[in-house]
Homo-oligomer: A and B are copies of this chain.
Amino acid sequence: VTFRLAELAELVGGRIAGDPERTVEAIRALEAAGPRDLSFVTQGRFRARAQASGAGALLIGPDLKEPAALGRDLLIAEHPGLALARLIALFHPGGGQAARPPGIHPTAVVESGAVVDPTAHVGPLAVIGAGSRVGPRAAVLALAVVGRGCTLGEDAVLHPHAVLYDRTEIGARSIIHAGAVLGGDGFGYVTHEGVHHKVPQVGRVVLGADVEVGANSAIDRATLEDTRIGEGTKIDNLVQIGHNVEVGAHCILCGQVGLSGSTRLGHHVVLGGQAATVNYVEVGDGAQAGARAALRGDVAAGAQVNGDPPTDLHSWRRRTVLIGRLEEMHRRLRALEKKLGREEG
């Protein structure tokens, strides 16, 4: 399928600078695009790469400076990121994923007492435990495991090898990627006379709607109540979330983040890759912590922090520079000591 640039502009509510009749065959990355492709410049720092690109047309935002100097036909969208998402979906219907027709694969094991909506898809060798409910148009892909008493909301997806321990709840349209484990035993022990005794973990994991959980991430169930992930929250790969944690709505947790037990995140919190919290930390609404931030104490709502100890981004950048200059600081300190010793002497 091909589109005229004018059609694409209409779809995303954008305008055109250049030839609206240009034919677009595909949407490609800057380095890969050719004259019949549309590419995109969503950040100013990609300007040089855009200049070097073979793309015939470029999607840009209204703020990009000197757009004419790019020398391409331009599709200018108010929100270029949103426009990009829609255009990729246009050129790749179904997001490039295989269709998931309704029905239960004959090799799947569905225990009696499980209720699978007739519009749901259950793939080969998947396992669904007694008392679980799989909602309309939900998909349990090959070799995924739904324990007993679980709920999978409408249009939710479990990718291959995702595992839900018993009684886990997954909201509508949530996506659980391959190998993710939800509802495992919280890491709770009581140590007595040198032996660690297991504290039974009898709570649940409850995910809101529109949550995404990345590959091989782990979310432990609560000791007694619920480990909760709020609606719209997106969790990257290899993220660890301990028992009794509460993550608010619309948070972003990047790869390898670790949330210790009983952490509480407000809504719209963003944690960069490998950032971590210690037990019982509270992070306020809208707070953002950079990659590898060590949240050893509470973080105020709206704060933007990084480092260990965490501080505001401006201070963190200056501190980082000074850590890089510690040797110099030490030399200067010694020079002062010497000078002062000499003057005294």
A53 is an interface residue with CB less than 8 A from chain B:
no
Asked if B240 contacts A200 (CB within 8 A), the reply is no
The one of B28, B79, B166, B187 that contacts A255, using a Cβ cutoff of 8 Å: B187
Copies in the complex: 3
Please report which residues of chain A, range 207-245, place their CB below 8 angstroms from some CB of chain B when the two chains form the complex: 212, 214-218, 220, 222-225, 232, 234, 236-238, 240, 242, 244
Of B125, B181, B320, which contacts A125 at CB under 8 A? B125
Tell me, yes or no, whether A252 is within 8 Å of chain B by CB: yes
Question: Can you list 8 A-B pairs with a CB-CB distance of less than 8 A?
Answer: A81-B190, A82-B190, A85-B199, A98-B166, A105-B109, A124-B127, A315-B327, A339-B340
Instruction: Tell me the complex Cα distance, A320–B294, Å.
Output: 11
A65 within 8 A of B: no
Distance from A117 Cβ to chain B, minimum over Cβ atoms (Å) = 21
Decide yes or no: A224 and B192 within 8 Å by CB, A214-B187, A319-B323 being known contacts: no
- Provide the A292-315 mask, 1 if CB < 8 A to any CB of B, else 0: 101010000000000111010001
Contact A177 B181 (CB under 8 A): yes
Contact of A184 (CB < 8 Å), options: B159, B258, B329: B159
* Contact present for A89 and B163 (CB under 8 Å): no
Of A3-11, A13-21, A273-281, which stretch is located at the interface? A273-281
A185 within 8 A of B: yes
Q: What chain B residues lie within 8 Å of A214 (beta carbons)?
A: 184, 187, 218
Q: Which residues does chain B contribute within 8 Å of A64, judged by CB atoms?
A: none
Q: Residues of A at under 8 Å CB distance from B?
A: 27-29, 31-32, 79, 81-82, 84-85, 88-89, 91-92, 95-98, 105, 107, 109, 123-125, 127, 129-130, 142-143, 145, 147-148, 159-161, 163, 165-167, 175, 177-179, 181, 184-185, 187, 189-192, 194-202, 212, 214-218, 220, 222-225, 232, 234, 236-238, 240, 242, 244, 250, 252, 254-256, 258, 260, 268, 272-274, 276, 278, 291-292, 294, 296, 307-309, 311, 315, 318-327, 329-330, 332-333, 336-337, 339-340, 344
How many Å from the CB of A50 to the closest CB on chain B?
14
Nearest chain-B residue to A80 (Cβ)? B190
